[in-house]
């Protein structure tokens, strides 16, 4: 087995977008005295497996639809490059998604049987993103799908299975996490603009242009910050300092996105995923400081 190819197919650079929402929601649950580490751990594993399944599926279905090329600017695609057979990738997609669903069922005692419907919706979205007669990512719906499932659903459900209720601050955090996740997709589609346009893949960047992508990328990061501005404030002066650390990281990636072209944008893709993790960890520190202020 080509272990390296499978690791690359899982797209580890992008995985912060699945675990960051779980970490943020659990931090809010901790601050409110309702944290359940067992439920949070299940959410963490489920989120990772669901995203890996989606990434495997994207690799396979884009190969089937002919939208990936061997000489693409983006990271190597395992099936298109011949590193992994189509059948093996499809099997891995279904097995990983099935495992995610099985693990997700462990959350039913914490959130109720209605979580089954939520799990089915997540599984369908993971496949429908790239598969079927109307793949969402090919028709300008990738961004809203990512915002919904890696933001609203991931954060609010992680909090719910611990607190058994919803919360306005957590809802605002979910919107922020969704926007930061969309930025990862935005860089990916900005880089692939020419290739996507040539094969008729209508991402939002293809539909609205590269300038739109640059402006949206900046705005998403700024709005995400504003969504949780109260959490930064609650941490006092230290929270303002933490906020500025994220601002510096975001502005740097904005500048490099405008400067880089082609495969160099893969660096910005990694930085954008890193920015979301930085944002999340700084937010966690701010939440802790709001409970134990030092200044």
Model confidence at 204: pLDDT above 90: yes
Domains of the chain: 12-291 (1.10.600)
| CA 242 vs CA 23, 26, 154, 155, 248: distances in Å | 17, 19, 24, 21, 10
On whether the CB atoms of residues 35 and 295 are closer than 8 A, the answer is no
Please determine, for residue 295, whether its predicted confidence score (pLDDT) is greater than 60.
Answer: no
pLDDT at 77 exceeding the cut of 60: yes
pLDDT attached to residue 1: 64
Residue 73: pLDDT over 80: no
Angle at 42 between CA 39 and CA 47, to 5 degrees: 125
Q: What is the DSSP letter of 292?
A: S
Dihedrals φ, ψ of 199, to 5°? -100, 5
CB proximity list for 235: less than 8 A, separation 6 or greater: 242, 285, 286, 287, 289, 290, 293
pTM: 0.94
Mean per-residue pLDDT, 181-210: 93
Beta-strand runs (E) in the chain: none
DSSP code for 150: I
pLDDT at residue 200 is higher than 90:
no
What confidence score (pLDDT) does residue 208 get? 96
Closest by Cα among 238, 237, 275, 235 to 254:
275
Distance of CA 149 to the CA centre of its chain: 8
C-alpha to C-alpha distances, 88 to 11, 15, 66, 80, nearest whole angstrom: 17, 22, 18, 13
Q: Please state the length of the chain.
A: 295
Compute the average pLDDT of residues 4-23: 92
pLDDT digits (tens, 9 = 90+) for 81-113: 889 999 999 999 999 999 999 999 999 999 999
- H or E stretch including 119? helix 115-128
Q: pLDDT per residue over 130-167, tens digit each?
A: 887 788 888 889 999 999 999 999 999 999 999 999 99
Q: How far is CA 44 from CA 38, 116, 226, in A?
A: 10, 17, 25
Between the alpha carbon of residue 185 and those of residues 24, 82, 164, 195, 275, the distances in Å are 20, 24, 31, 15, 13
Question: What pLDDT does residue 66 have?
Answer: 75
Span 36-46, pLDDT tens digits: 999 999 999 99
pLDDT tens sequence across 233-283: 999 999 999 999 999 999 999 999 999 998 899 999 999 999 999 999 999
pLDDT of residue 275: 96
Asked whether the predicted pLDDT for residue 70 surpasses 80, the reply is no
Contacts of 163 (CB under 8 A, 6+ apart): 29, 32, 34
Q: Across residues 115-135, what is the average pLDDT?
A: 86
Rounded CA separation 195/191 (Å) = 9
């Amino acid at each position: 087995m080509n272990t390296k190819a499978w690791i690359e197919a899982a797209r580890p650079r992008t995985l912060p977008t699945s675990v960051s929402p779980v970490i943020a929601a659990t931090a809010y649950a901790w601050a409110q005295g309702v944290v359940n580490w067992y439920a949070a751990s299940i959410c963490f594993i489920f989120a990772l497996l669901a995203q890996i399944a989606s990434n495997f599926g994207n690799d396979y279905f884009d190969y089937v639809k002919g939208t990936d090329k061997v000489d693409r600017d983006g990271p190597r695609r395992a099936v298109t490059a011949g590193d992994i057979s189509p059948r093996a990738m499809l099997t891995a997609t279904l097995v990983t998604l099935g495992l995610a669903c099985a693990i997700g069922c462990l959350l039913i005692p914490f959130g109720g049987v209605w979580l089954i419907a939520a799990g089915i919706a997540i599984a369908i979205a993971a496949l429908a993103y790239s598969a079927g007669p109307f793949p969402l990512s090919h028709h300008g719906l990738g961004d809203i799908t990512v915002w919904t499932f890696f933001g609203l659903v991931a954060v609010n459900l992680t909090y719910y299975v611990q607190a058994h209720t919803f919360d306005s601050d957590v809802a605002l955090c979910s919107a922020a996490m969704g926007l930061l996740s969309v930025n990862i997709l935005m860089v990916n589609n900005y880089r692939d603009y020419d290739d996507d346009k040539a094969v008729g893949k209508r991402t939002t960047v293809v539909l609205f242009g590269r300038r739109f992508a640059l402006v949206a990328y900046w705005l998403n990061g700024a709005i995400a910050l504003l969504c949780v501005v109260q959490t930064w404030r609650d941490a006092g002066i230290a929270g303002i300092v933490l906020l500025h650390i994220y601002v510096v990281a975001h502005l740097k990636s904005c500048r490099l996105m405008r400067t880089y072209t082609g495969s160099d944008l893969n660096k910005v893709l990694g930085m954008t995923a890193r920015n979301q993790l930085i944002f999340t960890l700084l937010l966690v520190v701010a939440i802790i400081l709001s409970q134990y202020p030092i200044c």
